[in-house]
């Protein structure tokens, strides 16, 4: 289950918030709150409030707060307020006060793992897709302004594998070639 919260129009620039958000992206939410509380950045306070809000939403939905993980932390740009500073010779120097939107999505780790394992178990094809896709490499040769794509043996074998897969799926459905 996913729990989402969006904090809008925060009076901190997105760049400063992203710097702090990148620090805690891979952490557990409780650990992230603890780390951010001792971080000497003003943007950390805004991010702590948003994380605490999403944790409260999680608790309200009845999920175990200790078993949730960050699925996504987005820092988006909000509106900009135009302001002016006094310049030389009676002129004004314009600048923008930037605002940000914080979107945090938490997910239940157990649900995420069980969905992945169900997909693997239910698959009729017992072919390791990851290693095949890692083996597929297309070599590019630059020839003037246009690039030519040259396929090596692994790309040819990938074409053959895709044909075999489509035949297997068709056979499973009951339709013969």
Query: pLDDT digits over 85-109, tens only?
Result: 999 999 999 999 999 999 999 998 6
- The DSSP bridge partners found for residue 75 are 102
pLDDT in tens, 16-47: 999 999 999 999 999 999 999 999 999 999 99
Domains of the chain are: 2-82+93-116 (3.90.470.10), 123-173 (no CATH)
pLDDT at 108: 86
Burial call 96-134: b when 16+ CB within 10 Å, e when fewer:
eebbbbbbbebbbeeeeeeeeeeeeeeeeeeeeeeeeee
pTM to 2 decimals?
0.61
Four-residue CA torsion sign, 107, 108, 111, 115: positive
Non-local CB neighbours of 137 within 8 Å, separated by 6+ positions: 152, 154, 155
Beta-strand relationship, 2-10 and 92-108: antiparallel
Predicted confidence (pLDDT) per residue in 134-174, tens digit: 443 333 444 444 444 444 455 566 666 666 666 666 666 66
């Amino acid at each position: 289950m996913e729990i989402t919260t969006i904090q809008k129009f925060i009076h901190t620039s997105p760049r400063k918030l992203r710097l702090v958000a990148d620090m805690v992206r891979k952490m557990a939410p409780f650990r992230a709150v603890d780390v951010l509380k001792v971080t000497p950045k003003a943007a950390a306070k805004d991010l702590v409030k948003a994380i605490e809000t999403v944790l409260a939403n999680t608790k309200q939905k009845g999920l175990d707060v200790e078993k949730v993980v960050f699925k996504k932390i987005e820092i988006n740009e909000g509106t900009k307020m135009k302001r002016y500073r006094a310049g030389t010779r009676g002129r004004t120097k314009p600048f923008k006060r930037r605002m940000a939107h914080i979107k945090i999505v938490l997910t239940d780790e157990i649900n995420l793992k069980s969905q992945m394992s169900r997909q693997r178990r239910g698959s009729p094809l017992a072919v390791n897709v990851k290693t095949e896709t890692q083996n597929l490499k297309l070599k590019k040769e630059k020839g003037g302004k246009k690039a030519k794509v040259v396929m090596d043996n692994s790309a040819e074998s990938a074409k053959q594998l895709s044909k075999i897969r489509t035949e297997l799926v068709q056979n499973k459905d009951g339709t013969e070639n």
